[in-house]
């Protein structure tokens, strides 16, 4: 059965890396079937209006982070310069950036299932804001789970941003600065989404 998540990626025309390692392999559905989903997907080459582009970028963010319309309105109702920082420093995204999870979606599940600790306390809210000085780690009771099989070897290959620090041996990471200066990019255009909410 084809994944609804993979169909959504094809519909939006962007790799959102929702399937972890699979998205970086030849098995990725966006590589095998780059056209839009549906019987006539390959023939649907239409011009998209400015509003349509804004709506697509909005949907990418929602799908990438699992956000509702209400959460999106709250996010984009604040100062524009803080939106990227707020997204980067979500607990689920920090968990992904540290290499504890292979995709943001998997990281979100890890957090909601209680596998992640912040400063020694279990946090199950994916949108929890990780601040400078916070220590994020995999719960000791969860480390033998198949979910984290081979993780220490995998962490050796993870290139984490400068505002995070990793202790691979003890499966701990620390936020050592604000992510304002981070150069990594999201697979969507936040400026277009800002335009959508400024209408």
pLDDT band at 20; cut points 50, 70, 90: low
153, part of any domain: yes
Where are the alpha helices (H) located in the chain, listed in sequence order? 4-12, 29-32, 50-65, 69-75, 83-88, 91-97, 104-112, 151-155, 190-197
| 44-48, 88-92, 95-99: segment of lowest average pLDDT | 44-48
CATH of the domain at 103: 3.10.290.10
Compute the average pLDDT of residues 103-118.
Answer: 95
Domain hosting 109: range is 91-177
Q: Two tokens at 179?
A: 């992510």
- The pTM for the full model equals 0.77
* pLDDT given for residue 93 in this prediction: 95
Residue 141 has pLDDT above 70, yes or no: yes
Among 147, 146, 144, 118, which Cα is nearest to 130's?
118
52, part of any domain: no
């Amino acid at each position: 059965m084809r994944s609804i998540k993979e169909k959504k990626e094809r519909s939006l025309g962007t790799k959102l890396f929702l399937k972890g390692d699979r998205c970086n392999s030849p098995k990725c559905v966006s590589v095998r079937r780059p056209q839009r989903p549906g019987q006539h997907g390959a023939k649907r080459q239409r011009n998209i209006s400015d509003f349509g582009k804004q709506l697509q970028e909005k949907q990418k963010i929602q799908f990438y982070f699992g956000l509702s319309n209400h959460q999106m309105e709250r996010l984009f109702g604040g100062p524009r310069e803080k939106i990227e920082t707020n997204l980067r420093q979500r607990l689920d995204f920090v968990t992904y950036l540290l290499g504890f999870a292979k995709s943001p979606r998997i990281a979100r599940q890890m957090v909601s299932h209680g596998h992640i600790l912040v400063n020694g306390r279990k946090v199950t809210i994916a949108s929890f804001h990780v601040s400078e000085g916070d220590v994020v780690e995999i719960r000791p009771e969860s480390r033998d789970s198949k979910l984290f099989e081979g993780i220490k070897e995998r962490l050796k290959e993870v290139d984490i941003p400068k505002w995070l620090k990793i202790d691979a041996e003890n499966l701990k990471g620390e936020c050592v600065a604000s992510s304002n200066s981070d150069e990594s990019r999201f697979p969507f255009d936040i400026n277009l989404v800002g335009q959508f909410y400024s209408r």
